[in-house]
Structure 1
Amino acid sequence: MKKVFSSLFATLVAVFAFSATAKTIFVIESYHEDYPWVKEYRKGLEHTLGSEHELVYFEMDTKRLADSDFTQRAAEAWAELVSVSPDFVIVADDNALELLAPKLNTLDQGYVFLGINGNPRHYGVNLSRNSGGVLERPEIRASIAQLQEVSPFNKVLIISEKSTTSDTILKYMLGGEIRSSIANVQVDFLEVKHFEDWKNLVMSADDSGYDAIFVGLYHALKDSSEQPVNGNDVIQWTSQNATTPLFALYDYAIGPDKALGGLVLSGYDQGVKAGQLTTNYFEGVKNAPLPVSTKNVAFIFSKTQMEKWQLNIPEHLRTKVQWVD
């Protein structure tokens, strides 16, 4: 009987301790739950914070909504934040941060951001307060330079959706130039709004002299009726119909029926780092600005796609590669 009582007492103490230390963290997401990038950083947040704190998510869904709806959606996100009254806030990706930074700066507590391509200060973030986070900057220049060793090329096409995020990537990673020269390679960065235009670019790439295609963002593409196109449909169609080797800038675009590989960003890594910054805040770093961390990138490849294109990883790079199949 004493053992049963002791066990019950220990359980109650543990529950009380959790409730006393657990915090409510409100996560404002620019996009939607089914977006692979969101799934990945959520796993990172849950891994770092989920066992000790409550994570409440608000999806702004700006990949699928019209631009004219963004302001209203931001107002709804703020209203929900006020209603939840969280202990801390995490903001994911550029659209949410740009729309809400001025209001976030009025919070008594700090906040953390992740997945930011632009300059947080240009969105109104006050980095002298308790705010900071993780930047998302695709390593375009390093990708072009290093992936030539996998598939030699002189002219490549980077194709991406027409969106604020793509515009920001072009601005910060390529100086706003749609045509650049990187490691003696001509690099064209083209943005399209509709899937039909995307298809035309992919199917004409070989005739246009491109030796490879790099896939950027594609979950905001629309069909002829201005409805969102499923992202899996886009990348699988692209993989099936590309006439030149297909690389990617993000890990979720790589797989047996997707792109063959790349030097890519990881949403999971972004979530883990944002979670670590949040933990630091809870552990007492409340009166000093949180650091702005840069991203990690990794060599990720698909064996199936490498065999399809009859390509090989150079020996000196093999120990760095992570295989998805």
Structure 2
Amino acid sequence: MRLLILALLFVSPLCFSKTVVVIQSYHAEYKWDSDYIRAIQSTLGQKHEITFLELDTKRLPKPQWSHKVESIRKSVAELQPDIAILGDDNAFSLMAKHLVDNEIPVVFFGVNGTRVQHPALDHPLVTGILERPFFAQSIRHLRKVLQNRDRFLILMDDSITMRNAVNDYFGDARQAQLYGSHLDIVLTNDKDTWLSAVDNAHTQYDAVIVGTHHTIRDAENNYVAPGELINQAYYRSQIPIFSFWDISIGKEQGVGGFTVSAYQEGLTAARLASLILNGVNPDRVPQIKSLSGHYVYSKSGMQHWNIELSPLIASQSNFVE
């Protein structure tokens, strides 16, 4: 069945125009969201009516989330969508049960949470893509890119998303060995701690690999924009900074890596939604993990940290500048 579904993902939608609602955990100006919005629009936009609704949970204080949820519930009631696509954990945790209780099929993506945290994952009207960083593939790739590749610092925020991703792969361990390289895993929501780890990384490690860094706050509890943080890290780090996500790679950011793609996640979710819009029951569409990563590199970052790619890897990579 899984192979059949994967094959069907590449079949063009055949159904008549229907109503699709996409509920974002975050906001359209955030690069992760803007990339998957493009993918969903490109796949479903010519055939169906799509409405995008933002929970805006990165910028809104948590006490305000309930008011935003109520507003979106009213919008959904007015739209009466044929299907809902939910982007990331907050949208799923805040909206999935309400949607299936109203018999609206749900396709999710970007969800790192478990069935304990998200019981609605087991509902027959729910399917989608469980997002997981490519830990093993990333280390294997970097061992081909770097001459010094014995020790890596994996640096993340201490969000539910990152805790789930790390625990899913490493369990409770915060040190590990992969392909002969030693990994130390640090999760923190404190700006000073995060940047201090970057400052001192060269004394112990050959490279830093960042996960998400989107729930970090400063000493006054002010939210620190992810772009601002990775920009500071770029200038302060004496060793190259790679990333598990392509949204953290670019000019004055991370240099590259084998990454999860927001566009690919959105594309796969849209294709799963197409199956359901064509009449396939959601419980016949298996939930899957992120299907494929891609090599992404910043040319200016490569120059900054003196990184050279082999002709083979370069031919397989996307360059963001």
- TM-score, structure 2 length as denominator? 0.87
| SS of alignment partner, residue 113 of structure 1 | strand
Structure 2 counterparts to residues 128-207 of structure 1, below 5 A: 129-151=124-146, 152-207=148-203
* Aligned sequence identity (%): 27
Aligned residue identity for 2:195:
K
Aligned to 1:280: 275
**Alignment partner of 1:64 is 2:53:** no
User: How big is each residue's C-alpha offset from its partner over 1:13-33, in whole Å with a ceiling of 9 and x where there is no partner?
Assistant: xxxxxxx94322121211222
Unaligned runs of 5+ in 1: 1-19
Equivalent residues of 2:100, 2:125 under 8 A apart: no
How much has 1:211 moved relative to structure 2? 1.2
User: How big is each residue's C-alpha offset from its partner over 1:192-241, in whole Å with a ceiling of 9 and x where there is no partner?
Assistant: 2132222111111113x111101111122223332222222112111111
**Alignment partner of 1:298 is 2:294:** yes
Which residue of the other structure, out of 236, 243, 247, is the alignment partner of 2:242? 247
| SS of alignment partner, residue 120 of structure 2 | coil
Q: Identify if the C-alpha distance between structure 1 residues 121 and 289 changes in structure 2 by more than 3 Å, giving closer, same or farther.
A: farther
How much has 1:37 moved relative to structure 2? 0.8
Equivalent residues of 1:156, 1:211 under 8 A apart: yes
Distance in 2, matches of 1:172 and 1:307, equals 35
Equivalent residues of 1:90, 1:111 under 8 A apart: yes
Equivalent residues of 1:239, 1:246 under 8 A apart: yes
How much has 1:54 moved relative to structure 2? 2.2
Aligned to 2:222: 227
How much has 1:76 moved relative to structure 2? 4.1
Larger Rg: 1
Equivalent residues of 1:300, 1:324 under 8 A apart: yes
CA-based RMSD of the aligned residues comes to 2.2
Between Structure 1 and Structure 2, how many residues are aligned?
305
User: How big is each residue's C-alpha offset from its partner over 1:91-112, in whole Å with a ceiling of 9 and x where there is no partner?
Assistant: 1111221233333332323111
Which residue of the other structure, out of 210, 231, 234, is the alignment partner of 1:215? 210
Which residue of the other structure, out of 237, 250, 265, is the alignment partner of 2:260? 265
| SS of alignment partner, residue 214 of structure 1 | strand
Equivalent residues of 1:127, 1:289 under 8 A apart: no
- State which drifts further: 302-311 or 162-171: 302-311
| SS of alignment partner, residue 149 of structure 1 | helix
Aligned residue identity for 1:129:
P
| SS of alignment partner, residue 105 of structure 1 | helix
Distance in 2, matches of 1:168 and 1:71, equals 24
| SS of alignment partner, residue 32 of structure 1 | coil
Distance in 2, matches of 1:55 and 1:227, equals 34
**Alignment partner of 1:93 is 2:83:** no
Aligned to 2:27: 32
How much has 1:283 moved relative to structure 2? 1.5
| SS of alignment partner, residue 81 of structure 1 | helix
Distance in 2, matches of 1:45 and 1:235, equals 28
Which residue of the other structure, out of 286, 300, 318, is the alignment partner of 2:314? 318
Equivalent residues of 2:81, 2:104 under 8 A apart: no
Equivalent residues of 1:128, 1:289 under 8 A apart: no
| SS of alignment partner, residue 236 of structure 1 | helix
Equivalent residues of 1:92, 1:114 under 8 A apart: yes
- State which drifts further: 275-284 or 92-101: 92-101
How much has 1:282 moved relative to structure 2? 1.5
Unaligned runs of 5+ in 2: 1-14
